[in-house]
Amino acid sequence: MIDGRTEKRVDDSRTVMTEMIMPNDTNPLNNLMGGNLMRWMDVAGGICAGRHAGQHVVTASVDHVSFSSAIKVGDVITIQAQLTRAWGTSMEVYMEVFAADARGRDHRKANHAYMTFVALDEKTMKPTSVPSLIPLTSQEEELYKSAARRREIRLILSGRLQASEAKEVKEFFSAMK
Ligand SMILES: CC(C)(COP(=O)(O)OP(=O)(O)OC[C@H]1O[C@@H](n2cnc3c(N)ncnc32)[C@H](O)[C@@H]1OP(=O)(O)O)[C@@H](O)C(=O)NCCC(=O)NCCS
């Protein structure tokens, strides 16, 4: 039980981070360096997962990240992080990054990513259980459902699951036939 609850809602941990891109965040073309953006995403995602868990968390994995729109010096970015699902000790966080100029114009989505965080007990430093998540809206339900498939894929890629045991992935591909 955490805060007297074993279940939490998405809004309990939703996290928004805003940053203005300064010259020392950029590459020689005056665009935000991808590594700096990933660092902020890691921080925003970790805050979100930590709020849900009520514990310290570590980053276990980062899924595919692609940069669809360049972010320029002087732009303002907003990172929106929300929990999609929690399992035993791990949680998946979905992040969307939006950019606009400093006057709020040219608003655009710059990228999105999924990251997995694991809660650690601060005494033993071992993974510790987290509250489950209750999805309420249709967007939350869709992310919750598809999280099972993404989890299987990342566990296969990290050598923790045999592809033959990946039930959700199998169902997904057989539905496409
Ligand atoms: C992530 C970590 C805590 C997992 O520890 P472990 O001893 O392998 O623990 P477990 O096998 O019990 O796994 C714990 C959870 O992590 C999940 N996990 C482990 N590796 C994972 C990966 N690569 N991707 C997604 N989830 C992963 C497991 O599925 C499990 O989740 P569940 O309890 O919800 O089912 C450990 O590998 C670690 O501390 N890694 C370093 C984290 C870190 O320092 N991050 C910052 C990088 S600089």
**Are residues 89 and 138 in contact, defined by beta-carbon separation less than 8 angstroms?**
no
Q: Counting every residue, how long is the chain?
A: 177
Prediction pTM value: 0.94
User: Residue 127 Cα, ligand 1 centroid: separation in angstroms?
Assistant: 8
- CATH of the domain spanning 7-135, picked from 3.30.750.24, 3.10.129.10, 3.40.50.300, 3.40.47.10: 3.10.129.10
97-146 confidence digits (pLDDT tens): 999 999 999 999 999 999 999 999 999 999 999 999 999 999 999 999 99
Give the nearest ligand 1 atom to 130 CA.
Answer: 34
Condensed to tens digits (0 to 9), the pLDDT of residues 154-174 reads 999 999 999 988 888 888 888
Spacing, Cα 118 to ligand 1 middle (Å): 6
Instruction: Determine the distance separating the centroid of ligand 1 and the alpha carbon of 121, expressed in angstroms.
Output: 13
Residue ranges per structural domain of the chain:
7-135
Mutation to probe ligand 1, out of 52, 63, 118 (largest number of atoms < 8 A from CB): 118
